[in-house]
């Protein structure tokens, strides 16, 4: 017994009605022809009644064509050898069989249908009309085969589209979570850039109080006030970043851009870091805000790394670029030794230094990984090298004309 084929969507009432209509229309045509024959030849009434009865039987068999496609298609095809009225139900059952795309079933039923067509056409003798009927029937049978295969392809396409829609609906929460996670990663990177800058400043200022014994009371007071101000600023910036994280949103404006680099330099200089700046940027008012934000963070992180690994060294920052040529940021500082001890007491970097601690080579620090990722997010590149005893960080960011 043949099971109902897979991928057969349930039919609506309109679909069922359409299929029975396709079967009934040929039945009505052939039935009208039989009535005309009966009027012309009353003696053929018994054969006409048999023809009509077999057609009705084929119409009844259509009910099970989806459950048993091959047996029903074969049975209705056999009916056409004795009944022209059964042609309609046989054609609908044959198309239904073709939609299953099983050639081992389609080919036998098609062969039987053609043979039954030949038998039915030869009942009144073999003549020119018989040949025309066979040729016409062959073309119709081929067209029905193509039509059935087309219906199957269309059903498969609709099923795949439905599955794609369902899959998209199932994956939508996952994509949302991925987007939230990516945004949290960006916020975490922003938090790292902000806090690393502030904490390194606090370390330098506190180190000055811990290791400088020659500071005057006024210098000590200024250093303590600088520590207080930076600690307060750190809390404010941390609160802003965490507030953004709790709201699951994007980073809120205003974000620092290249316009705030001068304030950043002044801040680190006031904390004791020695920085020389060579700024030759042209038409900075045309620099996109997003690029300016990345540029600010790159400068900030480069200065932070310099304070960590060469706290007493002089830092040189070169900024250049113009629309169409891109933005270039080069920051260099003395290459750090394998270890770093306390600074000499007469070091002119006032007011502070970091306390003694082991220092790894700067290229091994994770800060460079964050800088490289930030440059990549901006569509640029970043490189670093040690040349002539100085660690050089070179970043290129795109700037369209």
Q: 94-120 pLDDT, tens per residue?
A: 888 888 888 888 888 888 888 888 887
- 69: nearest Cα among 3, 132, 124, 17: 3
**Coil, strand or helix: which one is 351?**
coil
pLDDT of residue 338: 54
User: Which is more confidently placed, 4 or 84?
Assistant: 84
pLDDT at 341 over 60: no
- 58: nearest Cα among 32, 13, 33, 22: 22
pLDDT at 7 over 60: no
CA 92 – CA 16 distance, rounded (Å)? 11
- 142: nearest Cα among 110, 108, 96: 110
Share of the chain above pLDDT 70, in %: 75
Q: Full-prediction pTM beyond 0.85?
A: no
Q: Are strands 326-334 and 314-322 parallel, antiparallel or unpaired?
A: antiparallel
Contacts made by residues 217-225, CB under 8 angstroms, sequence distance 24+: 219/350, 219/351, 222/351, 223/351, 223/352
* CB distance 86 to 23 below 8 Å: no
CA 30 – CA 46 distance, rounded (Å)? 16
Query: C-alpha distances in angstroms, 77 versus 23, 90, 121, 243, 390?
Result: 13, 5, 14, 75, 92
Give me the mean pLDDT over the 364-383 stretch: 74
pLDDT of residue 328: 93
Q: Facing residues of 385 across strands?
A: 392
Query: C-alpha distances in angstroms, 145 versus 101, 138, 150, 222?
Result: 10, 11, 9, 93
**251, 257, 260, 261 alpha-carbon torsion, rounded to 10°:** 120
Categorize the per-residue pLDDT at 330 as very low, low, confident or very high, splitting at 50, 70 and 90.
Answer: very high
- 153: nearest Cα among 98, 103, 105: 98
User: Which is more confidently placed, 211 or 225?
Assistant: 225
User: Which is more confidently placed, 276 or 342?
Assistant: 276
User: Which is more confidently placed, 163 or 248?
Assistant: 163
A 10 A CB-CB count for 31 gives: 18
Radius of gyration (C-alpha) of the chain in whole angstroms: 43
**Domains plus CATH for the chain?**
13-126 (no CATH), 174-397 (3.30.565.10)
CA 240 – CA 246 distance, rounded (Å)? 10
Lowest-pLDDT choice from 7-11, 66-70, 89-93, 142-146: 7-11
A 10 A CB-CB count for 212 gives: 20
- 206: nearest Cα among 226, 234, 236: 226
CA 325 – CA 316 distance, rounded (Å)? 22
Q: What is the pLDDT of residues 24-75, one digit of tens each?
A: 888 888 778 778 877 777 777 887 788 788 888 888 888 888 888 888 888 8
Give me the mean pLDDT over the 85-89 stretch: 83
Total H helices, total E strands in the chain:
10, 7
pLDDT of residue 243: 61
DSSP code for 322: E
Give me the mean pLDDT over the 77-96 stretch: 84
Q: What is the pLDDT of residues 159-201, one digit of tens each?
A: 888 888 888 777 777 777 776 677 667 666 766 666 676 677 7
Unique residue bearing structure tokens 């009353």: 42
Give me 36's structure tokens.
């005309």
pLDDT of residue 316: 92
CA 342 – CA 131 distance, rounded (Å)? 110
* 206 CB-near residues (< 8 Å, 6+ apart): 227, 352, 355
Query: C-alpha distances in angstroms, 184 versus 102, 189, 190?
Result: 53, 9, 10
pLDDT at 349 over 50: no
pLDDT of residue 136: 81
Give me 373's structure tokens.
């990722």
């Amino acid at each position: 017994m043949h099971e109902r084929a897979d991928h057969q969507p349930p039919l609506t009432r309109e679909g069922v009605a359409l299929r029975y209509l396709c079967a009934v229309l040929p039945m009505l045509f052939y039935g009208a022809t039989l009535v005309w024959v009966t009027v012309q030849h009353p003696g053929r009434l018994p054969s006409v009644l048999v023809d009509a009865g077999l057609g009705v039987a084929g119409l009844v068999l259509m009910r099970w064509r989806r459950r048993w496609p091959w047996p029903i298609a074969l049975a209705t095809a056999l009916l056409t050898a004795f009944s022209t009225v059964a042609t309609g139900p046989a054609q609908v059952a044959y198309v239904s069989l073709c939609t299953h795309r099983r050639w081992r079933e389609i080919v036998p039923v098609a062969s039987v249908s053609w043979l039954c067509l030949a038998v039915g056409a030869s009942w009144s003798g073999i003549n020119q009309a018989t040949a025309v009927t066979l040729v016409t029937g062959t073309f119709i049978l081929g067209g029905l085969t193509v039509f059935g295969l087309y219906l199957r392809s269309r059903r498969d396409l609709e099923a795949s589209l439905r599955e794609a829609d369902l899959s998209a609906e199932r994956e939508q929460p996952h994509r949302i979570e991925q987007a939230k996670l990516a945004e949290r990663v960006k916020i975490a990177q922003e938090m790292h850039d902000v806090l690393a800058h502030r904490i390194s400043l606090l370390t330098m200022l506190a180190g000055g109080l811990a290791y400088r014994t020659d500071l005057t009371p006024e210098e000590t007071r200024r250093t303590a006030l600088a520590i207080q101000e930076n600690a307060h600023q750190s809390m404010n910036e941390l609160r802003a970043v965490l507030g953004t994280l709790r709201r699951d949103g994007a980073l809120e404006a205003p974000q620092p851009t290249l316009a705030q680099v001068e304030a950043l330099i002044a801040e680190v200089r006031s904390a004791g870091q020695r920085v020389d700046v060579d700024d030759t940027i042209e038409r900075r008012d045309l620099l996109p805000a997003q690029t300016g934000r990345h540029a600010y963070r790159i400068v900030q992180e480069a200065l932070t790394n310099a304070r960590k690994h060469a706290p007493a060294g002089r830092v040189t920052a070169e900024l250049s670029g113009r629309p169409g040529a891109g933005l270039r940021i080069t920051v260099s500082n003395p290459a750090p030794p394998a270890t770093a001890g306390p600074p000499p007491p007469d070091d002119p970097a006032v007011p502070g230094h970091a306390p003694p601690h082991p220092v790894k080579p700067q290229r091994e620090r994770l800060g460079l990984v964050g800088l490289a990722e930030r440059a990549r997010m901006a569509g640029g590149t970043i490189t670093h090298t040690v040349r002539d005893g100085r660690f050089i960080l070179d970043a290129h960011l795109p700037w369209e004309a």
